[in-house]
Structure 1
Amino acid sequence: MKTTKPSALPQALGSGLAGALVLTAIHETARRLLPDAPRMDVLGMRGLRKLLGKAHAPQPAPDTLFNLTMAGDILSNGLYYSLVGRGKEAWRRGTLLGLAAGVGGVVLPGPLGLGEAPSNRTRQTQLMTVAWYLLGGLAAAGASRAWSRARKRSKQSS
């Protein structure tokens, strides 16, 4: 009798969501406490306003815009961090994905027409941006590895 291997998709998506939630929690806490904290929420709101403008769609009220941006951030970062996948290489992939997202968060907003200040205003802002995206990638990797260990224990007890 052939046994089927469980799908990697739930683990990847769940781990990605964990990384995105950690990243968002860090950003939202730090922006309230630290004057040089990155303001990725501002970049997200600018980006959403720009997209809605190009689509000739109505612009939402500020509170709605913020909530839509947070939901979009969690969804998009969750999908991005889901690339961590599973297996022993998850830590390496989480590190590389986190660093790439952090560097992109510092370098890309200006050329994309979103402004540079929210993630690039001081050296501390730049370092926090890279570090927090790295933490998101590591959180996704940690969640993936924990999921793998739990699945392995579950198989052994069956």
Structure 2
Amino acid sequence: MRSGLAGLAGAFAVTLVHESVRRFYPNAPRMDILGMRAISKGMRYAGQTPPEPDRLHTWSLVGDIVSNGLYYSLTGAGKKAWWRGSILGAVAGVGGVVLPGPMGLGVAPSARTKQTQALTIGYYLLAGVVAGGVAQWLRKVKV
């Protein structure tokens, strides 16, 4: 349970930062767009029609929280949660910059400028640190 709560904390942190900064900074990463593209691509591959953009955006955010929550829940496995969270966050950030292009999702949402790349990595690193901190705290309070 601790790992799951820590993972959700990291997932909510990265989603909150993405959704907040993208509203006022033009070079902000747009991981929501990558999520929307991935869902649309998968649905088309399965012979389905993707929903309208507003609904697709909601699905993307929910998918991000679920998948990132599962990923960051790994921070709570074992000791050194801060260290594990930082490593997981950095790896997720680099993956967010490097993988969308080869996956056919485009590079602009996460890698269009050096600032966008740095922010992408930084957001996921922050999420890993949050997840690690929450995992460490939950271990101390015996939840």
Q: CA deviation at 1:54?
A: 0.6
- 1:119 aligned to which of 99, 107, 110: 110
Q: CA deviation at 1:111?
A: 0.4
Give yes or no for contact 1:11–1:86 (8 Å, CA) kept in 2. no
Q: CA deviation at 1:35?
A: 1.0
Matches within 5 A, 1:101-116: 101-116=92-107
Matches within 5 A, 1:59-138: 59-138=50-129
Q: In the alignment, what sits opposite 2:10? A: 19
Which structure has the bigger radius of gyration? 1
- 2:136 aligned to which of 140, 145, 150: 145
Q: In the alignment, what sits opposite 2:23? A: 32
* d(CA) in 2 for partners of 1:46, 1:88: 37
Query: Is there any run of 5+ residues in structure 1 with no aligned partner, and where?
Result: 1-9
Give yes or no for contact 1:86–1:145 (8 Å, CA) kept in 2. no
Deviations 1:38-86 (A, max 9, x none): 0000000000000000111221011110111100000000000001115
What's the C-alpha RMSD, in Å, of the aligned pairs? 1.1
Superposition TM-score, scaled by structure 2 size? 0.97
Pairing 1:54–2:45 present: yes
Q: In the alignment, what sits opposite 1:5? A: none
Q: CA deviation at 1:12?
A: 0.5
Q: How many residues align?
A: 143
* d(CA) in 1 for partners of 2:108, 2:49: 26
Give yes or no for contact 1:86–1:148 (8 Å, CA) kept in 2. no
Return structure 1 stretches of 4+ with deviation > 3 angstroms: none
* d(CA) in 2 for partners of 1:68, 1:23: 16
Give yes or no for contact 2:39–2:50 (8 Å, CA) kept in 1. no
